[in-house]
Structure 1
Amino acid sequence: MAFDFEAPRGMTAITGAKPSPRRLLFGLYVDSMRMDETVERCRQAIQTHTSLLVGVLNAAKIVNLRRDPGLREAILDCDLLLADGQSIVWASRLLGKPLPERVTGIDLFEQLLALADQQQRGIYLLGAKPQVLAALEANIAKRWPNVKIAGSHHGYYSEDEATTIATDIRASGADMLFLGMASPKKEIFLRRFRHELDVPVLHGVGGSFDVLAGLTRRAPPSWRRLGLEWAYRLVQEPGRLWKRYLMTNSAFVALTVREALRPAAPLGPSASTEQIEPPPHKRAP
């Protein structure tokens, strides 16, 4: 079966960066990259001061984007789209379009903090509750003392405050913006302000703020190697998560079977989103 090789996404492609192959999976072009390659691409974006929006993909997003136009738009807007969930990697191999490894959002977050520490770069943190944000900043200062926290803001802001926050991010001069907010709030913020922020690397890290702040325990490495991080979370919160995981995992298996029988064509913007909120830029072919 033929692989799907294409040039990197969009107008924000980094001059001189080696194009990464992409695999067409479930209608999305997923970048076939390892962690070290991803970090290098981010390093180049910072060096050239070129906007690079990094997105991560898991089974839940594959399922949900089919009924959520806003989520679909956010994923299609990403310059890099990486396999966060092990299920995506497994599916890619079953479908004959193998991805090299899982690049999780939280692992990339830590690797980019290490890069910022090495190069004394500035970061901006947006998300979580004020007390969680304070704990996160303290832990970053301990683990990566050379990181410059150029600014931060909690994630419980009103819509009226969003413009002020975006102005603060731009004024901070940060090299990286990390958004520790749930979907679709972080996607809405990035779609509205991405090209006004003047920050090279933008990465939505979801619940990683809680983990690095010490509030949430991550699965042990052995569970992660087996692709069972979701199961560890389920053991911790069975009452809240069992139904969600049952429905999402079942739907993803069904989509994988369908993909094997009839691969999906590349997804495009939904008609409703195009009419209501056109993309802020057009990608280069």
Structure 2
Amino acid sequence: MRNRIEVLNVKVDVVTMKEAVSHVEGFIAQKKPHLVVTPNAEMIMMANQDKHFAQIINDADLVIPDGAGVVWAARYNGDPMPERVAGYDLVQNLLVEAAKKKYRIYMLGGAPGIVDKAKENAVKRYSGLQIVGTRHGFFTKQEEPEIINNIIKCQPDILLVALGVPRQEKWLVEFMDQIKAPVAIGVGGTFDVMAGVVQRAPLWMQNLNLEWLYRLLSEPKRAIRMLALPRFVLKVMANKKR
């Protein structure tokens, strides 16, 4: 039975990284479509304004606590949340297992050239990794049938989709039953980091839950989007469980 808690009406699984990887491998063994969602504070604020997006998250097969804010909110409300399970780190852990166990990976999304560089770096880093297909995320509605048919032909065990939030989650819900990949994950900016065009915060900042500050300092254009963080904190405090 799943152990889930609510953060501003969004249900999040209480899992460690090890448990999340185990769940995903279980989904692969079942050989039927499963959706994994990786909400942070910004995504939860989006979900509070977009009922369809909120429903997608709450119906997903695994919802990991990607952001430090999500972990803080759970603990603030007295709910157990053992650790942050960052989406980028989950993908890297899954690629390690994929290289060992020959899981097939398909990567869709990102700017032209980014996904191919991400694949190149991943294949170098994880010996034996099978990335069976890639496609950048700049495509029209008319091109979708060709892309979907290509993914189906490649028969991935894990489909990684980086189309931005919430487009990637909505796209997956629309097509995952047609594609039939056992695991589908919206991965946001993961390919940018894997390609080396975006750097993650130093480990010490990650450990202090300051990755958001590093991203703001390195990408000032994110300032407007990151206003969601203080709004998230205030809303959690206003809605604290009695």
1:41 to partner: Cα distance: 0.9
TM-score by length of 2: 0.95
- Structure 1 unpaired stretches of 5+: 1-18, 263-285
Measured in 2, the distance between the counterparts of 1:77 and 1:134 equals: 31
Distance change >3 Å, CA 261–CA 47, structure 1 → 2: closer
Measured in 2, the distance between the counterparts of 1:184 and 1:260 equals: 26
- Of the three residues 140, 149, 155, the one matched with 1:158 is 140
Measured in 1, the distance between the counterparts of 2:168 and 2:235 equals: 26
Measured in 2, the distance between the counterparts of 1:64 and 1:55 equals: 14
Structure 2 residue 200 is the aligned partner of structure 1 residue 213: no
One-letter amino acid matched to 1:242: A
Superimposed CA distance per residue, residues 230-275 of structure 1 (whole angstroms, 9 cap, x where no aligned partner): 100111122x122332x2122112211122156xxxxxxxxxxxxx
1:186 to partner: Cα distance: 1.1
Please tell me whether Structure 1 or Structure 2 has the larger radius of gyration of its CA atoms: 1
Q: Tell which deviates more after alignment, 96-105 or 59-68.
A: 59-68
One-letter amino acid matched to 1:243: I
1:108 to partner: Cα distance: 0.4
C-alpha contact (below 8 Å) 1:70/1:184 kept by paired residues:
no
Superimposed CA distance per residue, residues 30-71 of structure 1 (whole angstroms, 9 cap, x where no aligned partner): 110000011011111112213221111111112121222342
Q: RMSD between aligned alpha carbons?
A: 1.4
Corresponding residue for residue 100 of structure 2: 118
C-alpha contact (below 8 Å) 1:162/1:189 kept by paired residues:
no
Runs of 4 or more, structure 1, over 4 Å off, are none
Measured in 1, the distance between the counterparts of 2:85 and 2:163 equals: 19
How many residues in Structure 1 have an aligned counterpart in Structure 2? 242
Measured in 2, the distance between the counterparts of 1:68 and 1:187 equals: 12
- Of the three residues 211, 236, 242, the one matched with 2:223 is 242
One-letter amino acid matched to 1:256: V
Measured in 2, the distance between the counterparts of 1:249 and 1:129 equals: 26
Q: In structure 1, the residue corresponding to 2:38 is in which secondary structure?
A: strand
C-alpha contact (below 8 Å) 1:20/1:33 kept by paired residues:
no
Instruction: Quote the sequence identity (%).
Output: 34
- Of the three residues 154, 157, 160, the one matched with 1:175 is 157
1:215 to partner: Cα distance: 0.7
- Of the three residues 29, 52, 64, the one matched with 2:46 is 64
Q: In structure 2, the residue corresponding to 1:83 is in which secondary structure?
A: coil
1:151 to partner: Cα distance: 1.1
TM-score by length of 1: 0.81
1:134-145 equivalent positions in 2, closer than 5 A: 134-145=116-127
- Of the three residues 227, 232, 235, the one matched with 1:252 is 232
Measured in 2, the distance between the counterparts of 1:123 and 1:76 equals: 25
- Structure 2 unpaired stretches of 5+: none
